[in-house]
Amino acid sequence: MADADATYLHLTIDGRSVEVEAGTIVAAALAMAGAGRTRTSVSGEPRAALCGMGICQECRVTIDGRAHVLACQTLCRDGQVVCTAAAVANAVNVTNAPTTTANR
């Protein structure tokens, strides 16, 4: 149930409109929006916020065109546009997994 006194912000996560309470960090907004992962490792494993302190840097996203922003250390702002590397990879059907030419 929404708090009648709460202030809500509207942001866009991977092209989807999301509404969160003021004071929400981007990593929490990603989780609430069901984003699931922020990027893919070089071995193809999904990555998402882990430590919540900015140490692991697994939560890196692009916010308002600025790459490598730590979602766990960034407050949501009204009108903010968040793009995960996972969404970009899905959009262009690309993975970061190493490729091999051994079977040519």
Q: pLDDT higher for 14 or 4? A: 14
Q: Taking Cα atoms as reference points, which of 84, 77, 82 lies closest to residue 23? A: 77
Choose the weakest-confidence range: 11-15, 70-74, 86-90, 92-96.
Answer: 92-96
Residues whose CB is less than 8 angstroms from the CB of residue 47 and which lie 6 or more positions away in sequence, other chains included:
37, 38, 39, 40, 41, 58
* Residue range 8-65, pLDDT digits in tens: 999 999 999 999 999 999 999 999 999 878 888 889 888 888 999 999 999 999 999 9
Domains in the chain, CATH or no CATH each: 8-92 (3.10.20.440)
Residue 71's pLDDT is: 96
* Tokens matching residue 48: 């998402």
* Tokens matching residue 77: 């702002």
